[in-house]
Chain A
Protein backbone atom coordinates (compact mmCIF):
# COMPACT_ATOMS: atom_id res chain seq x y z
CA UNK A 1 0.00 0.00 0.00
CA UNK A 2 1.29 3.45 -0.87
CA UNK A 3 1.96 5.60 2.14
CA UNK A 4 -0.15 8.74 1.97
CA UNK A 5 1.56 12.03 2.48
CA UNK A 6 -0.28 14.62 4.47
CA UNK A 7 0.61 18.21 3.67
CA UNK A 8 -1.68 19.62 6.26
CA UNK A 9 -1.36 19.47 10.02
CA UNK A 10 -3.85 20.55 12.61
CA UNK A 11 -3.92 23.76 14.58
CA UNK A 12 -1.76 23.47 17.70
CA UNK A 13 -0.45 25.53 20.58
CA UNK A 14 2.64 26.74 18.72
CA UNK A 15 0.38 28.31 16.16
CA UNK A 16 -1.23 30.36 18.91
CA UNK A 17 2.21 31.77 19.71
CA UNK A 18 2.72 32.49 16.04
CA UNK A 19 -0.58 34.37 15.93
CA UNK A 20 0.24 36.17 19.17
CA UNK A 21 3.58 37.36 17.83
CA UNK A 22 1.91 38.54 14.65
CA UNK A 23 -0.69 40.39 16.71
CA UNK A 24 2.15 42.16 18.54
CA UNK A 25 3.61 43.17 15.18
CA UNK A 26 0.23 44.58 14.15
CA UNK A 27 0.16 46.55 17.41
CA UNK A 28 3.74 47.77 17.01
CA UNK A 29 3.35 49.04 13.45
CA UNK A 30 0.03 50.70 14.35
CA UNK A 31 1.30 52.39 17.50
CA UNK A 32 4.41 53.63 15.72
CA UNK A 33 2.62 55.08 12.71
CA UNK A 34 -0.32 56.46 14.69
CA UNK A 35 1.91 58.31 17.14
CA UNK A 36 4.26 59.82 14.55
CA UNK A 37 1.37 60.44 12.16
CA UNK A 38 -0.65 62.22 14.83
CA UNK A 39 2.16 64.63 15.68
CA UNK A 40 2.74 65.32 11.98
CA UNK A 41 -1.00 65.61 11.39
CA UNK A 42 -1.46 68.19 14.15
CA UNK A 43 1.38 70.18 12.64
CA UNK A 44 -0.22 69.94 9.18
CA UNK A 45 -3.59 70.86 10.63
CA UNK A 46 -2.10 73.98 12.17
CA UNK A 47 -0.44 74.87 8.84
CA UNK A 48 -3.76 74.36 7.04
CA UNK A 49 -5.48 76.65 9.53
CA UNK A 50 -2.86 79.41 9.60
CA UNK A 51 -1.63 79.07 6.02
CA UNK A 52 -4.88 80.28 4.47
CA UNK A 53 -4.70 80.22 0.68
CA UNK A 54 -0.99 79.32 0.53
CA UNK A 55 -1.64 76.08 2.41
CA UNK A 56 -4.87 75.48 0.52
CA UNK A 57 -2.87 75.56 -2.71
CA UNK A 58 0.17 73.59 -1.59
CA UNK A 59 -0.32 71.26 1.36
CA UNK A 60 -4.03 70.52 1.07
CA UNK A 61 -3.93 68.90 -2.40
CA UNK A 62 -0.97 66.74 -1.40
CA UNK A 63 -2.76 65.48 1.70
CA UNK A 64 -5.87 65.02 -0.39
CA UNK A 65 -4.05 62.55 -2.66
CA UNK A 66 -3.36 60.29 0.31
CA UNK A 67 -7.05 60.28 1.14
CA UNK A 68 -8.19 59.67 -2.45
CA UNK A 69 -5.95 56.76 -3.43
CA UNK A 70 -6.49 53.33 -1.87
CA UNK A 71 -3.99 52.61 0.89
CA UNK A 72 -3.04 49.33 -0.74
CA UNK A 73 -2.01 51.14 -3.94
CA UNK A 74 -0.04 53.68 -1.91
CA UNK A 75 1.82 50.87 -0.16
CA UNK A 76 2.72 48.99 -3.36
CA UNK A 77 3.65 52.23 -5.08
CA UNK A 78 5.93 53.43 -2.31
CA UNK A 79 7.51 50.03 -1.79
CA UNK A 80 8.46 49.96 -5.47
CA UNK A 81 9.35 53.62 -5.62
CA UNK A 82 11.78 53.69 -2.70
CA UNK A 83 14.51 51.64 -4.44
CA UNK A 84 14.25 53.91 -7.50
CA UNK A 85 15.42 56.87 -5.44
CA UNK A 86 17.99 54.74 -3.67
CA UNK A 87 16.17 53.96 -0.45
CA UNK A 88 16.30 50.38 0.68
CA UNK A 89 13.33 49.90 2.92
CA UNK A 90 12.05 46.59 4.18
CA UNK A 91 8.29 45.99 4.16
CA UNK A 92 8.08 47.20 7.75
CA UNK A 93 9.84 50.47 6.95
CA UNK A 94 7.71 51.15 3.89
CA UNK A 95 4.59 50.25 5.82
CA UNK A 96 5.44 52.65 8.64
CA UNK A 97 6.25 55.49 6.22
CA UNK A 98 3.01 55.17 4.28
CA UNK A 99 0.80 54.51 7.30
CA UNK A 100 2.35 57.53 9.00
CA UNK A 101 1.68 59.85 6.09
CA UNK A 102 -1.80 58.38 5.71
CA UNK A 103 -2.51 59.00 9.41
CA UNK A 104 -1.08 62.50 9.12
CA UNK A 105 -3.32 63.27 6.14
CA UNK A 106 -6.41 62.15 8.06
CA UNK A 107 -5.39 63.78 11.35
CA UNK A 108 -4.59 67.08 9.59
CA UNK A 109 -8.26 67.57 8.78
CA UNK A 110 -9.31 66.57 12.28
CA UNK A 111 -6.77 68.94 13.82
CA UNK A 112 -7.87 71.82 11.62
CA UNK A 113 -11.46 71.12 12.65
CA UNK A 114 -10.33 71.25 16.25
CA UNK A 115 -8.63 74.62 15.86
CA UNK A 116 -11.67 75.98 14.04
CA UNK A 117 -13.89 74.75 16.86
CA UNK A 118 -12.32 77.28 19.23
CA UNK A 119 -14.20 80.54 18.97
CA UNK A 120 -12.15 83.45 17.69
CA UNK A 121 -13.40 85.68 20.47
CA UNK A 122 -12.01 83.27 23.04
CA UNK A 123 -8.59 83.32 21.41
CA UNK A 124 -8.60 87.10 21.22
CA UNK A 125 -9.55 87.19 24.87
CA UNK A 126 -6.59 84.94 25.67
CA UNK A 127 -4.25 87.17 23.71
CA UNK A 128 -5.56 90.32 25.33
CA UNK A 129 -4.93 88.75 28.74
CA UNK A 130 -1.28 88.88 27.79
CA UNK A 131 -0.79 85.30 26.60
CA UNK A 132 1.69 84.80 23.80
CA UNK A 133 0.62 83.05 20.61
CA UNK A 134 2.15 79.78 21.81
CA UNK A 135 0.54 80.08 25.22
CA UNK A 136 -2.78 80.68 23.51
CA UNK A 137 -2.27 77.48 21.48
CA UNK A 138 -1.11 75.48 24.48
CA UNK A 139 -3.58 76.61 27.15
CA UNK A 140 -6.67 77.60 25.18
CA UNK A 141 -6.78 76.01 21.72
CA UNK A 142 -5.34 72.62 22.61
CA UNK A 143 -7.62 71.79 25.58
CA UNK A 144 -10.81 73.10 23.99
CA UNK A 145 -10.23 72.08 20.39
CA UNK A 146 -8.74 68.78 21.50
CA UNK A 147 -11.90 67.88 23.36
CA UNK A 148 -14.04 68.76 20.38
CA UNK A 149 -12.22 66.42 18.02
CA UNK A 150 -10.88 63.72 20.35
CA UNK A 151 -13.60 61.20 19.35
CA UNK A 152 -12.86 61.87 15.68
CA UNK A 153 -9.18 61.29 16.34
CA UNK A 154 -9.94 57.98 18.06
CA UNK A 155 -11.90 57.00 14.96
CA UNK A 156 -8.92 57.81 12.74
CA UNK A 157 -6.51 55.93 15.00
CA UNK A 158 -8.71 52.83 15.07
CA UNK A 159 -9.12 53.07 11.31
CA UNK A 160 -5.36 53.10 10.83
CA UNK A 161 -5.00 50.18 13.25
CA UNK A 162 -7.44 48.19 11.12
CA UNK A 163 -5.86 49.38 7.86
CA UNK A 164 -2.44 48.22 9.07
CA UNK A 165 -3.65 44.79 7.94
CA UNK A 166 -2.96 45.99 4.40
CA UNK A 167 0.80 46.07 5.01
CA UNK A 168 0.56 42.33 4.46
CA UNK A 169 0.63 42.97 0.68
CA UNK A 170 4.27 43.92 1.06
CA UNK A 171 4.97 40.62 2.81
CA UNK A 172 5.06 41.96 6.38
CA UNK A 173 3.70 39.17 8.54
CA UNK A 174 1.15 40.95 10.71
CA UNK A 175 -1.90 39.29 12.20
CA UNK A 176 -3.97 38.83 9.07
CA UNK A 177 -1.05 37.62 6.99
CA UNK A 178 -0.10 35.19 9.75
CA UNK A 179 -3.62 33.82 9.85
CA UNK A 180 -3.54 33.44 6.07
CA UNK A 181 -0.32 31.43 6.35
CA UNK A 182 -1.84 29.24 9.04
CA UNK A 183 -4.99 28.72 7.01
CA UNK A 184 -2.93 27.47 4.10
CA UNK A 185 -1.26 24.91 6.35
CA UNK A 186 -4.02 23.80 8.67
CA UNK A 187 -7.03 24.17 6.38
CA UNK A 188 -9.04 25.50 9.29
CA UNK A 189 -10.03 28.92 8.03
CA UNK A 190 -13.01 29.44 10.28
CA UNK A 191 -11.21 28.92 13.58
CA UNK A 192 -8.16 30.97 12.64
CA UNK A 193 -10.06 33.86 11.09
CA UNK A 194 -12.28 33.99 14.16
CA UNK A 195 -9.22 34.28 16.38
CA UNK A 196 -7.77 37.07 14.24
CA UNK A 197 -11.10 38.86 14.05
CA UNK A 198 -11.57 38.53 17.80
CA UNK A 199 -8.22 40.22 18.39
CA UNK A 200 -9.07 43.23 16.24
CA UNK A 201 -12.52 43.41 17.75
CA UNK A 202 -11.24 43.15 21.32
CA UNK A 203 -8.86 46.00 20.63
CA UNK A 204 -11.17 48.27 18.67
CA UNK A 205 -14.55 47.82 20.33
CA UNK A 206 -13.74 48.94 23.91
CA UNK A 207 -11.78 51.95 22.66
CA UNK A 208 -14.56 53.08 20.33
CA UNK A 209 -17.14 52.61 23.09
CA UNK A 210 -14.97 54.60 25.50
CA UNK A 211 -14.63 57.40 22.94
CA UNK A 212 -18.40 57.40 22.44
CA UNK A 213 -19.04 57.74 26.19
CA UNK A 214 -16.48 60.53 26.45
CA UNK A 215 -18.16 62.32 23.56
CA UNK A 216 -21.52 62.04 25.27
CA UNK A 217 -20.14 63.25 28.59
CA UNK A 218 -18.36 66.23 27.03
CA UNK A 219 -21.40 67.15 25.00
CA UNK A 220 -23.32 67.91 28.19
Chain B
Protein backbone atom coordinates (compact mmCIF):
# COMPACT_ATOMS: atom_id res chain seq x y z
CA UNK B 1 0.00 0.00 0.00
CA UNK B 2 2.74 2.44 0.93
CA UNK B 3 5.05 2.61 -2.04
CA UNK B 4 6.34 5.87 -0.78
CA UNK B 5 9.29 6.68 1.39
CA UNK B 6 8.57 9.44 3.81
CA UNK B 7 11.44 11.82 4.27
CA UNK B 8 11.02 13.82 7.41
CA UNK B 9 14.60 14.96 7.79
CA UNK B 10 14.46 18.03 5.51
CA UNK B 11 11.27 19.08 7.28
CA UNK B 12 12.85 18.78 10.69
CA UNK B 13 15.84 20.74 9.44
CA UNK B 14 13.68 23.64 8.34
CA UNK B 15 11.38 23.46 11.35
CA UNK B 16 12.94 26.56 12.98
CA UNK B 17 12.20 28.54 9.81
CA UNK B 18 8.66 27.24 9.79
CA UNK B 19 8.13 28.20 13.41
CA UNK B 20 9.47 31.66 12.69
CA UNK B 21 7.00 31.91 9.84
CA UNK B 22 4.30 30.76 12.26
CA UNK B 23 5.11 33.79 14.41
CA UNK B 24 4.55 35.97 11.35
CA UNK B 25 1.19 34.23 10.85
CA UNK B 26 0.25 34.98 14.45
CA UNK B 27 1.45 38.55 14.15
CA UNK B 28 -0.59 39.29 11.06
CA UNK B 29 -3.64 37.57 12.53
CA UNK B 30 -3.44 39.49 15.80
CA UNK B 31 -2.90 42.82 14.02
CA UNK B 32 -5.79 42.10 11.67
CA UNK B 33 -7.98 41.27 14.67
CA UNK B 34 -7.08 44.49 16.48
CA UNK B 35 -7.84 46.57 13.39
CA UNK B 36 -10.91 44.44 12.70
CA UNK B 37 -12.28 44.95 16.22
CA UNK B 38 -11.81 48.73 16.04
CA UNK B 39 -13.38 49.06 12.59
CA UNK B 40 -16.02 46.46 13.41
CA UNK B 41 -17.11 48.46 16.48
CA UNK B 42 -17.38 51.61 14.36
CA UNK B 43 -19.33 49.76 11.68
CA UNK B 44 -21.72 48.28 14.22
CA UNK B 45 -22.35 51.62 15.93
CA UNK B 46 -22.79 53.40 12.59
CA UNK B 47 -25.25 50.79 11.41
CA UNK B 48 -27.25 51.07 14.62
CA UNK B 49 -27.37 54.82 15.07
CA UNK B 50 -26.82 56.64 11.79
CA UNK B 51 -28.75 56.98 8.56
CA UNK B 52 -27.89 58.10 5.06
CA UNK B 53 -24.68 57.61 3.10
CA UNK B 54 -22.57 56.60 6.11
CA UNK B 55 -25.07 53.87 6.92
CA UNK B 56 -25.00 52.62 3.35
CA UNK B 57 -21.23 52.62 3.27
CA UNK B 58 -21.00 50.63 6.51
CA UNK B 59 -23.67 48.19 5.31
CA UNK B 60 -21.89 47.72 1.99
CA UNK B 61 -18.66 46.96 3.84
CA UNK B 62 -20.32 44.42 6.13
CA UNK B 63 -22.28 42.69 3.37
CA UNK B 64 -19.32 42.58 0.98
CA UNK B 65 -17.04 41.15 3.65
CA UNK B 66 -19.58 38.51 4.63
CA UNK B 67 -20.84 37.51 1.20
CA UNK B 68 -17.68 37.13 -0.88
CA UNK B 69 -14.84 34.63 -0.43
CA UNK B 70 -11.92 35.77 1.70
CA UNK B 71 -9.63 34.82 -1.17
CA UNK B 72 -11.53 37.18 -3.44
CA UNK B 73 -10.99 39.98 -0.93
CA UNK B 74 -7.27 39.25 -0.83
CA UNK B 75 -7.10 39.25 -4.63
CA UNK B 76 -8.95 42.51 -4.64
CA UNK B 77 -6.43 44.15 -2.34
CA UNK B 78 -3.71 42.53 -4.42
CA UNK B 79 -4.55 42.84 -8.12
CA UNK B 80 -7.64 45.02 -7.84
CA UNK B 81 -5.88 47.94 -6.22
CA UNK B 82 -2.93 47.32 -8.52
CA UNK B 83 -5.17 48.50 -11.33
CA UNK B 84 -5.19 51.92 -9.70
CA UNK B 85 -1.41 51.92 -9.42
CA UNK B 86 -1.54 51.07 -5.72
CA UNK B 87 0.82 48.15 -5.23
CA UNK B 88 0.78 46.77 -1.72
CA UNK B 89 3.39 44.41 -0.37
CA UNK B 90 2.19 40.84 0.28
CA UNK B 91 2.22 41.58 4.00
CA UNK B 92 -0.07 44.58 3.56
CA UNK B 93 -2.34 42.68 1.16
CA UNK B 94 -2.93 39.96 3.73
CA UNK B 95 -3.26 42.43 6.58
CA UNK B 96 -5.73 44.61 4.66
CA UNK B 97 -7.72 41.63 3.39
CA UNK B 98 -7.95 39.99 6.81
CA UNK B 99 -8.83 43.26 8.56
CA UNK B 100 -11.55 43.98 6.00
CA UNK B 101 -12.98 40.50 6.45
CA UNK B 102 -12.75 40.43 10.25
CA UNK B 103 -14.28 43.91 10.55
CA UNK B 104 -17.29 42.79 8.52
CA UNK B 105 -17.91 39.63 10.54
CA UNK B 106 -17.21 41.27 13.89
CA UNK B 107 -19.52 44.20 13.11
CA UNK B 108 -22.46 41.79 12.97
CA UNK B 109 -21.37 40.12 16.20
CA UNK B 110 -21.07 43.48 17.94
CA UNK B 111 -24.45 44.58 16.65
CA UNK B 112 -25.98 41.41 18.02
CA UNK B 113 -24.24 42.08 21.33
CA UNK B 114 -25.47 45.66 21.59
CA UNK B 115 -29.00 44.65 20.71
CA UNK B 116 -28.97 41.96 23.37
CA UNK B 117 -28.60 44.61 26.07
CA UNK B 118 -32.09 46.03 26.66
CA UNK B 119 -32.56 49.76 26.02
CA UNK B 120 -34.14 50.11 29.44
CA UNK B 121 -30.76 49.52 31.09
CA UNK B 122 -29.26 52.48 29.30
CA UNK B 123 -32.21 54.67 30.29
CA UNK B 124 -32.10 53.41 33.88
CA UNK B 125 -28.42 54.23 34.21
CA UNK B 126 -28.99 57.63 32.65
CA UNK B 127 -31.77 58.36 35.10
CA UNK B 128 -29.45 57.38 37.95
CA UNK B 129 -27.37 60.35 36.92
CA UNK B 130 -24.68 58.69 34.82
CA UNK B 131 -23.40 60.50 31.79
CA UNK B 132 -23.80 58.80 28.43
CA UNK B 133 -20.12 57.85 28.51
CA UNK B 134 -20.42 56.36 32.01
CA UNK B 135 -23.57 54.48 31.07
CA UNK B 136 -21.87 52.98 28.05
CA UNK B 137 -18.55 52.08 29.66
CA UNK B 138 -19.95 50.84 32.97
CA UNK B 139 -23.26 49.26 32.06
CA UNK B 140 -23.54 48.47 28.37
CA UNK B 141 -20.00 47.61 27.27
CA UNK B 142 -19.26 45.06 30.03
CA UNK B 143 -22.38 43.13 29.11
CA UNK B 144 -21.68 43.36 25.39
CA UNK B 145 -18.14 42.17 26.06
CA UNK B 146 -19.45 39.02 27.71
CA UNK B 147 -21.77 38.30 24.81
CA UNK B 148 -19.21 38.83 22.06
CA UNK B 149 -16.29 37.20 23.86
CA UNK B 150 -16.73 33.78 22.31
CA UNK B 151 -17.57 35.01 18.79
CA UNK B 152 -14.46 37.19 18.91
CA UNK B 153 -12.35 34.21 19.99
CA UNK B 154 -13.77 32.23 17.08
CA UNK B 155 -13.00 35.07 14.73
CA UNK B 156 -9.43 35.08 16.02
CA UNK B 157 -9.16 31.40 15.10
CA UNK B 158 -10.63 32.18 11.68
CA UNK B 159 -8.11 34.97 11.21
CA UNK B 160 -5.25 32.52 11.82
CA UNK B 161 -6.78 30.00 9.43
CA UNK B 162 -7.50 32.65 6.81
CA UNK B 163 -3.98 34.03 6.93
CA UNK B 164 -2.97 30.78 5.18
CA UNK B 165 -4.41 32.34 2.03
CA UNK B 166 -1.30 34.52 2.07
CA UNK B 167 0.30 31.58 0.29
CA UNK B 168 -1.63 32.54 -2.85
CA UNK B 169 -0.51 36.16 -2.90
CA UNK B 170 3.14 35.43 -2.22
CA UNK B 171 3.21 36.20 1.48
CA UNK B 172 5.76 34.10 3.32
CA UNK B 173 3.87 33.30 6.48
CA UNK B 174 3.56 29.71 7.66
CA UNK B 175 1.77 28.40 4.55
CA UNK B 176 3.76 30.45 2.08
CA UNK B 177 7.04 29.43 3.66
CA UNK B 178 5.91 25.79 3.65
CA UNK B 179 5.06 25.98 -0.02
CA UNK B 180 8.47 27.41 -0.85
CA UNK B 181 10.25 24.69 1.11
CA UNK B 182 7.98 22.02 -0.34
CA UNK B 183 8.59 23.01 -3.93
CA UNK B 184 12.31 23.23 -3.26
CA UNK B 185 12.57 19.70 -1.86
CA UNK B 186 9.50 18.00 -3.44
CA UNK B 187 8.56 16.65 -0.01
CA UNK B 188 5.17 18.29 -0.36
CA UNK B 189 3.20 15.91 1.81
CA UNK B 190 5.68 15.91 4.68
CA UNK B 191 5.96 19.68 4.77
CA UNK B 192 2.27 20.33 4.69
CA UNK B 193 1.63 17.62 7.28
CA UNK B 194 3.96 19.37 9.71
CA UNK B 195 2.38 22.73 8.88
CA UNK B 196 -1.06 21.30 9.56
CA UNK B 197 0.16 20.19 12.99
CA UNK B 198 1.57 23.65 13.68
CA UNK B 199 -1.76 25.28 12.74
CA UNK B 200 -3.61 22.81 14.92
CA UNK B 201 -1.38 23.62 17.88
CA UNK B 202 -1.76 27.38 17.33
CA UNK B 203 -5.54 27.09 17.20
CA UNK B 204 -5.64 24.94 20.33
CA UNK B 205 -3.35 27.39 22.15
CA UNK B 206 -5.61 30.30 21.24
CA UNK B 207 -8.73 28.45 22.37
CA UNK B 208 -7.02 27.32 25.58
CA UNK B 209 -5.78 30.81 26.39
CA UNK B 210 -9.20 32.24 25.69
CA UNK B 211 -10.82 29.70 28.01
CA UNK B 212 -8.35 30.47 30.81
CA UNK B 213 -8.92 34.18 30.33
CA UNK B 214 -12.68 33.65 30.38
CA UNK B 215 -12.44 31.89 33.74
CA UNK B 216 -10.58 34.85 35.20
CA UNK B 217 -12.71 37.51 33.52
CA UNK B 218 -16.15 36.08 34.11
CA UNK B 219 -15.89 34.96 37.72
CA UNK B 220 -18.99 36.81 38.82
Residues of A within 8 A of B (CB): 65, 68-74, 76-77, 80-81, 84-86, 158, 162-163, 165-166, 168-169, 176, 179-180, 183, 188-190, 193, 196-197, 200-201, 204-205, 208
Contact = CB atoms under 8 A, between A and B. Distances in A.
A176 B192 contact: no
Interface string B185-205: 000110011011001100110
Contacts of A163: 69
B80 interface: yes
Q: Which of A71, A86, A197, A205 has the most CB of B within 10 A?
A: A197
Contact of B68 (A65, A71, A73, A200): A200
A185 B204 CA distance: 43
A40 B36 CA distance: 34
B66 A208 contact: yes
A165 B14 CA distance: 30
Interface residues on B, range: 35 or more
B73 to A, nearest CB: 8
Given A180-B75, A189-B80, A197-B72, 5 more contacts: A69-B196, A72-B164, A73-B199, A166-B69, A190-B80
Contacts of B2: 84-85
B167 interface: yes
A196 to B, nearest CB: 6
Contacts, number: 104
A169 B168 contact: yes
B99 interface: no
A204 B68 contact: yes
B186 to A, nearest CB: 10
A85 B1 contact: yes
B88 to A, nearest CB: 13
Interface of B: 1-4, 63-64, 66-72, 75-76, 79-80, 82-84, 157, 161-162, 164-165, 167-168, 175, 188-189, 192-193, 195-196, 199-200, 203-204
Contacts of A193: 72, 75-76, 79-80
A183 B82 CA distance: 11
Contact of A69 (B69, B188, B200): B200
A180 B76 CA distance: 11
Given A69-B199, A189-B82, A201-B67, A77 B192 contact: yes
A84 B68 CA distance: 35
A68 B205 CA distance: 11
A81 B189 CA distance: 6
A39 to B, nearest CB: 24
5 contacts: A73-B199, A77-B192, A77-B193, A189-B80, A197-B76
